[in-house]
Amino acid sequence: MAPIERWYKKWDLLEEDSADSEKERKLQRTELEQVTYLPQDIVASLNQERNPERHEALLALNSFVAELHNPPRTTPARQQHLLRFLSQSLRGLQEGGELERIVWQVHAVLHHPEVSHRKLEECAGACALLAETAPVDPRLTSTILSSSRDRIHEFSAASLARTCWSAASLVKSSNNSEAALLLEKGLRCAEGKLADFVPEDVSLLAWACVAQPDRASNFFEKLQAVARAVPETDNAPQADCDNALEGLEGLSADARDASVGCGMHLEPEDLMRSPRPMAFPRDTQFVPVD
């Protein structure tokens, strides 16, 4: 198993997207309605929506919002399920109005102070893990990544390591520009938390550095020092850290040269720009039918 896959083997990937049939879409909606708690006023509001596409989109959006206000989970499996459903529901909406409104509402709730930064970590992880089999709608992905960048200074050391891994994975799979922004800002923040990282975090950061070879050298030396200083754990033996470190040390000059011009390096003034003004959802934190 590839090293990056090994670190995230506990994050079960979903089956390939086969929800094109109306039958499966109905089953998926039914499952969400059964397992997701929504306030009664929102349920009543949704039941008033007669347009099936809008009903599906609002159900998916409110289910996603409800999960964001739940306690953090060990893996992003639940976010994988909800983001896949939300992405599918956007296909039935009109461009230029309804769709953009829902994306903006996602942006707003991701900035809500009651939403833990760990939920953004889960969302970024879900986007990365779905990239190969059922990519999240690019507008949702960009919103999740930019919101994570806006709040990156809130992230713990563990969340930083996982989020950098997720961003690096998206850079590698699709050369996503928002992921590149998030990764570079995340690595800058990680330099200030080096003393807080455990071996598993160090390994994730080392693999994330592979997507930023132009910045890898200096940061990598600091990672090496941390890897030598922290104690072994059952989840991430020192040997695994050594393997990750050797993997980055083995980057050839050709690989470094190939990264030039790929949009991976960003100027500090672009990277560290001030966060966007934060917008907040309604008092209920859910989105009723107008």
Model confidence over 101-151: pLDDT tens digits? 889 999 999 999 999 999 999 999 999 999 988 999 999 999 999 999 999
**Residue 274: how many CB atoms within 10 A of its CB?**
6
Q: In the predicted model, what is the mean pLDDT of residues 189-214?
A: 81
Q: Does 263 have pLDDT greater than 90?
A: no
pLDDT of residue 118: 96
- pLDDT value for 97: 76
Mean pLDDT, the chain, rounded, equals 73
pTM, full prediction: 0.74
Dihedral over Cα of 101, 104, 106, 109: its sign: negative
| In-domain check, residue 80 | yes
Residue 212 lies in a domain: no
What DSSP string runs through 190-255? HHTTGGG--HHHHHHHHHHHTT-HHHHHHHHHHHHHHHHHSPP-SSS-HHHHHHHHHHHHT--HHH
Range of the domain at 84: 3-154
Domain assignment of residue 222, yes or no: no
The CA–CA distances, whole Å, from 30 to 26, 60, 70, 141 equal 6, 11, 20, 25
Instruction: Please report, to the nearest 10 degrees, the dihedral formed by the alpha carbons of residues 92, 112, 145, 24 taken in order.
Output: -30
In-domain check, residue 171: no
- Answer yes or no: are the C-beta atoms of 197 and 205 closer than 8 Å: yes
Half-sphere exposure of 263 (CA within 13 A, CB side): 11
Q: Determine contact, residues 125/166, Cβ cutoff 8 Å.
A: yes
Residue 213 counted as domain residue:
no
The per-residue pLDDT for 16 is 37
> Is residue 8 in a domain?
yes
Supply the pLDDT for residue 234: 52
Within a domain: 92? yes
- Could you give the number of structural domains in the chain? 1
Cα 212 to Cα 207: distance, rounded to the nearest angstrom? 10
Both tokens of 285, joined, read: 């934190």
Strands (E), the chain: none
- What's the CA gap between 141 and 118, in Å, rounded? 16
